[in-house]
Structure 1
Amino acid sequence: MKRIAVYCGSASPADPVYIESARTVGRTLAARGIGVIYGGGKLGLMGAVADAALATGGEVIGVIPTALVNAEVAHRGLTELHVVDTMHERKARFTELADGFINLPGGTGTMDELWEALSWAQLGYHSDPIGLLNIAGYYDKLIEFWEHMGKVGFVRAQHQSLLIVANTVDDLLARMADFEPTVPIIRMKREDL
C-alpha cells in the first residue's frame, strides 16, 4: 500500500487517547513510507493525523469540499490539497488516490465514509483493504452490529472479511497487508445472490 485514506473525525474529544492515537497513525504511516489521504482539515483527529505524518516527513494529501475551505478549516501546510465541489466527489477522489482505508473514531461523516468504502468493496468498485482501528473500544458496538448483519443475512458470508478490525495500528496494517479480496457482487452468479 503506497497511500491509505484515513477517515476520522474533525472533533477533539476530551479523552486524549483519541488525539494521541491519531498522531500515532500519522507517524506510523509516514515512517513506513505510506502516504496519507484524508479530509484536508486542520482540526481534531484529522489535523492530528496530518500534522504527525508531516512532522515525520510523510506525504499528506487532503481532499476537501469548497464549502469547508471557505469555513477556514482547510489545512494549508499539506503536500497537496485537492478542493472539490461535493462530498460525493471527495469520497470518489479518496478511492482513486488510495490503496486502502483506515477508519479512526469519528462521527456521522466518518461513518458515511466507512459504509461507502464497504459498500463499494462489496459491489466491486474497489478491491482495497478497509481497516477499522478500534481505539479504546470506540467501535465495539459497530463491530457487534457488523457481525449481526452477517448472522441475519444482510452481509454475505464472503463479504464479512471486508472489515478488518484491530486495536493497534501495527496490527491493523499487518492484517490489511494480508487482505485477500473477495468475489464482489458484480461478479457473482445470480444463484449466489
Structure 2
Amino acid sequence: MRGVAVFCGSNFGASPAYAEAAAALGREMAARGLRLVYGGTTKGLMGVVADAVLAAGGSATGVITHKLHARGHLHGKLSAHELVPTMRERKTRMGELADAFVALPGGLGTFEELFEAATLTQLGEHVKACGVLNVNGYYEPLRAMLDRAVAEGFMKAEHRDMVVIESDPARLLDALAAWQPPVVDKWIGQPGS
C-alpha cells in the first residue's frame, strides 16, 4: 500500500472532532510514507487532511475538475495535481492512483465515492481495501445498514466485512494494510452466477 484515496466532506461538520480526526489521519499517513490521493481542494475536511499530510512532510496528490479549478478551489501547496473534465473522471483517476480507499465523515459525494469503490472491489474490478474512519460514531448507521443488507439476503457477510470500520487512524491503516479480498462472488442462491 503506497497511496490512499481519502474521500471526505468539503465542509467541516458540526464537531471539531471531525477536523481533528482528519488531521490525525493525515499525520499518520505521512509518518507511514503513504501518499494522499484526494479531490485537490482546500475546502473542509479535504483541506485539513491535505494540510496535515504536507505539514508532516508527506506527499499529497490532488485530482480536481476544471470547473472547481476555475473557481479557485485547488490547494496551492500540493506535491502534484491533475485536472480532469468531470467528476466521473476524477473518481476514476483517484482510483487508479490509489491502493486503498478511506472515507472520513462527509455527505453525498463521500458516500457515493465509498460505495463505488467498495462495489468495484465486490465485483472484482479492482482488489483494493475500503475503510471508514468512524469519528464520533458517524458511520454507525452505515454499519447497521450493511448488517441489514446481510440479514435481508441482499449481501453476503464477506462483502459487509470487507468495509473496514475503525475509529482510530493507526488501527484503520493497519487493517487496510493487512486486508485480504473476499473470495466469494456477490450472488446469493442463484445458479450459474
TM-score range, shorter chain: over 0.9
**1:62-141 to 2 correspondences below 5 Å:** 62-141=62-141
Change (3 A) 1:42 1:154: same
CA distance in 2, matches of 1:127, 1:179: 10
Change (3 A) 1:48 1:182: same
RMSD (Å) for aligned C-alpha atoms: 1.9
How far apart are residue 172 of structure 1 and its match? Answer: 0.8
Corresponding residue SS for 1:191: coil
CA distance in 1, matches of 2:51, 2:135: 19
CA distance in 1, matches of 2:184, 2:54: 36
CA distance in 2, matches of 1:97, 1:192: 34
| Gap runs ≥5 in structure 2 | none
Match of 1:25 in 2: 25
How far apart are residue 77 of structure 1 and its match? Answer: 1.0
Match of 2:147 in 1: 147
CA distance in 1, matches of 2:140, 2:79: 34
| Gap runs ≥5 in structure 1 | none
CA distance in 2, matches of 1:78, 1:177: 25
Match of 2:182 in 1: 182
**Is the CA contact 1:95–1:126 (under 8 Å) kept in the aligned structure 2?**
no
How far apart are residue 184 of structure 1 and its match? Answer: 6.1
How far apart are residue 157 of structure 1 and its match? Answer: 2.7
Count the aligned residue pairs: 193
In the superposition, the TM-score normalised over structure 2's length comes to 0.94
How far apart are residue 43 of structure 1 and its match? Answer: 1.1
In the superposition, the TM-score normalised over structure 1's length comes to 0.94
CA distance in 2, matches of 1:2, 1:151: 35
1:24-76 per-residue CA deviation (whole Å, 9 max, x = no partner) reads: 11111001100000010101100000001001110100011111111211112
1:162 aligns with 2:162: yes
1:136-171 per-residue CA deviation (whole Å, 9 max, x = no partner) reads: 011111111011111111112331222011110111
CA distance in 2, matches of 1:72, 1:155: 42
**Is the CA contact 1:30–1:57 (under 8 Å) kept in the aligned structure 2?**
yes
CA distance in 2, matches of 1:23, 1:16: 11
Corresponding residue SS for 1:57: coil
1:172 aligns with 2:172: yes
1:105-162 per-residue CA deviation (whole Å, 9 max, x = no partner) reads: 0011101101101111111111111011100011111111011111111112331222
Change (3 A) 1:131 1:192: farther
